[in-house]
Amino acid sequence: MTAKSLRARAAAVVAVGLLPALAACSSGTPSGGASPSGGDTVTLVTHDSWAVSDDVIAKFEQESGFTVKQVAMGDAGTLANQVVLTQGSPVGDLVFGIDNTFASRVIDAGALEPHVPAGLAESATPLVLGDGALIPIDLGDVCVNTDVAWFQERGLAEPETLEDLAKPEFKDLMVALNPASSSPGMAFMLATIGAFGDDGFGGQGWTGYWEALKANGLKVADSWEDGYYTEFSGAGEGGTRPIVVSYSTSPAFTVTDDGTATTTRALLGTCFRQVEFAGVLAGAQNPEGARALLDFLVSQPFQADIPGQMYMYPADSSVELPAEWTQFAPLSDAPFEVDPADIAANRDAWLDQWTAAVGG
């Protein structure tokens, strides 16, 4: 056999051997060795905004004896839908990152196994959904933000309420986000639904409100990135509009160099509260590990890690917050609310109504 045919044969063997080899690699259990039931590894499925300090996870691993494997599944919508799709054969053991706009879809699909952690904080208990299927971990507000300097330079008063935004003095100044392609966009649409329902805003309802915004020169961006960085003047990237839909925490990112003030402001009377939940996946390989990890997510060490890592508020309100948060990024006292069951029932219809009122 010549050298070259040996080489060719070796190449073919490598090629044909690819599939089983891949399979072998992929089983990648940690060196501790895993029992067939899932053993020492607990797999946490999240959206791609998940973040946690290494030492916090290490603390859990040390105390519980489980090794945490993390899998990210795209944005919140993709995550929720993949949980529904894989119902019965879940990708992991515990899911984190289902929010209140997708919660009912996941619960109704029967994709979760109820488990209420014993240590759940008092402030979080009323937020539990589906008899313990979804446990609140953190929360945040989506609110209209303004470029403070823009209004000061022109000696103009800033808007404060949703109604203000439809007034002529704020014509051509606002950027909203498309709720069909952006999750803060969806949250803000829900704020208007919570605020006006079908007959608020002088009897015109929430769709009438959006028509009024449109008549007032509203611009709609398809993603938060595009709205904030391209259109919003407060981001310092050349945008021209001083009013944008963003988060109540955004002003903490625009703090001046001396740290005494921020150049943007969230209008706390225009907010919708997003709550992010975790839940044990039905059919999990390692339900015991999932429950242990869930217990850990509501405990003090993890809750205290949330503001610095995920930039959300911990669901446990007794956790101490970073000083600049209370100063620059407070939560709204009275966010608008919509029942998750109503969201599940009407989500698609509302999106269609929004599209009819604003675009397309």
Partner 1 sequence: MTRARAAVSAPSAVWWGVAVLLPLAFLGVFFAWPAVTLVARGFLAEGGGVDLGGLRDVLGNPRTWRLVGTTLAQATAGSAASVLLGLPVAYLLYRTRFPGRGLLRGLVTVPFVLPTVVVGVAFRALFQTGGLLGWAHLDGTFVAVVVALVFFNVSVVVRTVGGLWERLDPRAEQAARALGASPARAFRTVTLPALSPALASAAAVVFLFCATAFGVVLVLGGLGYGTVETEIYRRTTQFLDLRTAAVLSILQLLVVTLALWVAGRARARRERALHLEHEDVAAHRWSVRSVPDVAAAVATSVVVGGLVVLPLAGLVGRSFRGPDGAWGLANYRALGTTGGRNALAVTVWEALANSVRTALVATVIAVVVGGLVALVVSRRPRARVARRAVGLLDAVVMLPLGVSAVTVGFGFLITLDRPLGLDVDLRTSGLLVPIAQAVVAVPLVVRTVLPVLRAIDPRLRQAASVLGAAPGRVLRDVDLPIALRSLGLAIGFAFAVSLGEFGATAFLARPDSATLPVVIFRLIGRPGAENYGMALAASVVLAVLTAVVMMLAERLRGDRASGAAGGEF
Instruction: Give the footprint of partner 1 on residues 250-269 (CB under 8 A).
Output: 250, 253-254, 257
Whichever of 60 and 224 has its CB closer to partner 1, that residue is 224
The sign of the torsion formed by the CA atoms of 189, 190, 193, 196 equals negative
Judged by CB under 8 A, the number of residues near partner 1 is 78
Count the helix, strand and coil residues of the chain and give each as a percent rounded to the nearest 5.
45, 20, 35
Which CB atom, from 119 or from 236, has the smaller least distance to partner 1?
236
| Under rule CB under 8 A, residue 126 binds partner 1 | no
C-alpha to C-alpha distance for 145 and 232, rounded to whole angstroms: 9
Choice from 50, 96, 151, 196 touching partner 1 (CB under 8 A): 50
- Give the shortest CB-56-to-partner 1 separation in angstroms: 12
- Let me know: does 282 contact 111? Beta carbons within 8 Å: yes
Nearer to partner 1, 18 or 345 (CB): 18
Distance between CA atoms of residues 96 and 99, nearest Å: 9
CB of 128 or CB of 284, closer to partner 1: 284
Q: Which residues pair with 143 in a beta bridge?
A: 246
For partner 1, which residue of 64, 81, 123, 216 counts as binding (CB under 8 A)? 81
Distance CA 228, CA 174 (A): 11
Q: Which of 23, 118, 323, 334 binds partner 1 (CB under 8 A)?
A: 23
Q: Which of 10, 58, 85, 341 binds partner 1 (CB under 8 A)?
A: 85
Question: Mask of contacts with partner 1, 200-229, x by CB under 8 A?
Answer: --------------------x-xxxxx-xx
The distance of closest approach from Cβ of residue 86 to partner 1 in the complex, given in angstroms and rounded to an integer, is 5
Whether the CB-CB separation of 143 and 270 falls below 8 Å is answered with yes
- Determine the Cα–Cα distance for residues 56 and 48; give it in Å rounded to an integer: 19
Q: Under DSSP, is residue 241 helix (H, G, I), strand (E, B) or coil?
A: strand
Rounded to a whole number of angstroms, the minimum distance from the CB of residue 60 to partner 1 is 15
Alpha helices in 27-94 (DSSP H): 54-64, 76-85
Contact indicator for 132, 182 with CB cutoff of 8 Å: no
- 314-353 residues in contact with partner 1 (CB under 8 A) are 347-348, 351
Residue of the chain from 78, 125, 161, 318 that contacts partner 1 (CB under 8 A): 78
Select from 10, 12, 345, 356 the one that contacts partner 1 (CB under 8 A): 12
In this structure, what token pair is assigned to residue 283? 């059919």
